[in-house]
Amino acid sequence: MRTRLAAGIAAVVMLVQAVPASAVGPGHHHPEPPHHGGPLHSKTNRWVGSAVAAQHLSAEADYKKVLTREFDSVTPENEMKWGTVEAVRGQYDWSGADAIVDYAKKTGKSIRGHTLIWHSQLPDWVADLEAAELKSVVRKHIADEAGRYRGKIRAWDVVNEAFNEDGTRRETVFQTKLGDDYIADAFRLAHAADPKAKLYINDYNIEGLNPKSDATYELVKSLKRKGVPIHGVGIQGHLSLMYDFPQGVKENIKRFADLGVDVAITEMDVRIPLPVTPEKLKAQADYFGNVWDACHAVKRCVEFTTWGFTDRHSWVPDVFPGEDAACLFDENLKPKPAYFRLYGKK
């Protein structure tokens, strides 16, 4: 595995020394990182990716240029979610997903599929089904989507956000109507549809040691014991400077890896309470860097993906009023201190 992030060790170190993080704030930016037109002098044996929106790929040349230059893996942000591909029963829209898969093929990118089973962005017609029909529809949905991209997806987030903060099962339509076995069934179905894809359970607030990550750990252990084809745990990594950095991130990653599965940071971003200041940008860089370092401390942490790479299109301000600037690049696609913190030290 390789990354296409655009800076060599020596060059980035010189840039970081030349422009300290404290000098960077609104209206001030790091200089453009140097680019070498190919494999970098600085390499990591992790996939380094970003969530991607098909509309921006097609409409914004600068967005596409930076994405292509900087990352070697892409995750469709919304284009593979059930509510997008089959909003109306039996009427499929694969246009956005196909566009991203085509882009990845042309540019040599790996693809993380997101997501097969999730209670959110779910078509209304699915939620209204009775248990027997829902089970049949889930089977068809997974076969249709994972089967369509068979052999083209490196890893799938098969089940997304299955737990509450206290470690209990989230009362989704799948949990309430299909019971605890819906998760194991989803993994078996995904494996049948695409046997070569790595299959993950994915969730937020499981970065550190807490009841939610404990429940995820116990679930993965149970699934492995039963022979269910689960290959990894996806740790989303949606953090905020409003809260302390999670405790025990490296230990948490290691305990998952010790179960014999891979671990991926799948949706990393760090929200900043407005206004943005140089001090907050430095703190953001530390949060990103701490997760990056924890991942690199565990061999089976195989991926570091951010949820978008530019503040121009971040989901954060719409969902978290008063917070923004959560990505590695600003609205003008200039790298922020967090970018240099990651790639200047690995």
Query: Which of 243, 282, 218 minimizes the C-alpha distance to 22?
Result: 282
What is the biggest distance separating any 2 CA atoms in the chain, rounded to whole angstroms? Answer: 63
Active site residue 251: no
Q: Report d(CA 209, CA 246) in Å as an integer.
A: 8
State the helix-helix crossing angle for 182-193 and 211-225, rounded to 10 degrees: 60
Query: Which of the following is catalytic: 77, 86, 161, 303?
Result: 161
Q: How far is CA 166 from CA 33, 161, 219, in A?
A: 43, 13, 14
186-202: burial string, b at 16+ Cβ within 10 Å, e else? bbbbbbebbeebbbbbb
Euclidean distance between the first and final Cα of the chain, in Å? Answer: 15
State the helix-helix crossing angle for 278-296 and 249-257, rounded to 10 degrees: 30
How is residue 212 written in tokens?
A: 């939610």
Residue that is written with structure tokens 């689960």 in the block: 230
Q: What is the helix, strand, coil percentage profile of the chain, to 5?
A: 40, 20, 40
Active site residue 161: yes
Query: Which of the following is catalytic: 79, 267, 303, 323?
Result: 267
The catalytic residues are 161, 267
